[in-house]
């Protein structure tokens, strides 16, 4: 027998939970229906076992362009696809998609295979770009409004379903892992600004693509958001402790501040370099770290 996948109805929206609590590589997709149209947000791998009973969708909206968020896009070949203009290049070609990650060889070559075979990547050069504040009016008072929330990628967005007050958070997943800003198109400073903006958005229900799923209490949401944001500070403090003695970026990446030592992650090394390189640059700018010899850095006492 196939795995039974959970669905939760929240007004005009349905959370289509992926297996294993939406843990990567799976995720929780969102179906929103109005009087005139319906749309699917972030078609995940979790939609594949549902393909025989999938709801109709007049369009697909992506919170951003990453492998796990487009894995079910091939199930909707005739539906218009929408993504923030900054991430739209990722759907033009496999080369453009790989530019988002910025992985070096041989990781680039290996991950291309993962994208195609595990995540069913398909190009959508017809994808339509949108900007901050774009509204998808589905009829009967149901609307989905896009709020640009960059940092994870340049075009990452959260989506507010009205009038339910449901805020779909995409990869602001509120997990204990914390924010991911390890790609070429990621930005630590943007992510921190995004977390501050999301905190102020007027919502009553919050939905994450991974892990947590649905939160319907603001105090619980804020508590999880604070813990999630606190991982950034924790990484930075651990880096400062590590730099009590001089180290270079190669050693910093090998030490593992994002992933746990021993975690078997294909792209761990470039993610560590990109993530902690941003922390290192910020600490240098603030005068908390100094380059004591070419390419080697030490925390200031």
Give the mean model confidence (pLDDT) for residues 89-114.
Answer: 98
Question: Residue 1's pLDDT is what?
Answer: 37
Question: Residue 21's pLDDT is what?
Answer: 81
Give the mean model confidence (pLDDT) for residues 51-65.
Answer: 93
- 246-298 tens-digit pLDDT: 999 999 999 999 999 999 999 999 999 999 999 999 999 999 999 999 999 99
CA-to-CA distance for 275 and 180, rounded, in angstroms? 8
Q: Name the more confident of 19 and 100.
A: 100
Which SS3 state, helix, strand or coil, does residue 144 take?
strand
- 67-80 tens-digit pLDDT: 999 999 999 999 99
CA-to-CA distance for 16 and 9, rounded, in angstroms? 9
Q: Residues 176-179: contacts with CB within 8 Å, 24+ apart?
A: 176/227, 176/231, 177/231, 178/228, 178/230, 178/231, 178/232, 178/234, 178/235, 179/151, 179/152, 179/228, 179/229, 179/231, 179/232
Domains and CATH numbers, the chain: 7-218 (3.60.15.10), 243-299 (no CATH)
- 40-55 tens-digit pLDDT: 999 999 999 998 888 8
pTM given for the model:
0.96
pLDDT at 165 over 60: yes
pLDDT at 3 over 70: no
Going along the chain, which residue ranges are E strands?
A: 7-10, 13-16, 29-33, 38-41, 59-61, 81-84, 128-130, 135-139, 142-148, 157-162, 166-168, 205-207, 214-215, 289-293, 296-299
């Amino acid at each position: 027998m196939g795995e039974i996948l959970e669905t939760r109805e929240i007004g005009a929206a349905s959370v289509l939970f992926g297996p294993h609590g939406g843990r990567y590589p799976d995720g929780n997709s969102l179906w929103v229906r109005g009087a005139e149209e319906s749309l699917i947000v972030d078609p995940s791998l979790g939609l594949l076992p549902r393909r025989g009973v999938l709801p109709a969708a007049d369009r697909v909206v992506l919170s951003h362009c990453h492998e796990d968020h487009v894995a079910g896009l091939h199930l909707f070949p005739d539906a218009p696809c929408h993504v923030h203009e900054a991430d739209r290049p990722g759907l033009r070609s496999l080369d453009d998609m790989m530019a988002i990650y910025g992985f070096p060889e041989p990781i680039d070559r290996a991950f291309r295979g993962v994208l195609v075979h595990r995540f069913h990547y398909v190009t959508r050069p017809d994808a339509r770009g949108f900007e901050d504040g774009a509204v998808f009016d589905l009829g009967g008072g149901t609307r989905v409004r896009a709020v640009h929330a960059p940092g994870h990628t340049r075009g990452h967005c959260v989506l507010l379903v009205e009038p339910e007050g449901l805020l779909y958070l995409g990869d602001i997943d509120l997990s204990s892992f914390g924010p991911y800003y390890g790609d070429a198109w990621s930005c630590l400073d943007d992510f921190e600004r995004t977390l501050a903006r999301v905190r102020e958005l007027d919502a009553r229900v919050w939905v994450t693509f991974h892990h947590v799923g649905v939160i319907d209490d603001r105090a619980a949401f804020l508590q999880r958001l604070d813990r999630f944001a606190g991982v950034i500070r924790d990484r930075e403090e651990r880096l400062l402790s590590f730099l009590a003695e001089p180290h270079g970026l190669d050693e910093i990446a090998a030490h593992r501040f994002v992933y746990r030592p021993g975690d078997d992650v294909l792209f761990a090394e470039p993610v560590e370099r990109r993530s902690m390189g941003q922390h290192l640059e910020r600490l240098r700018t603030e005068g908390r770290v100094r380059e004591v010899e070419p390419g080697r850095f030490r925390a200031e006492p």
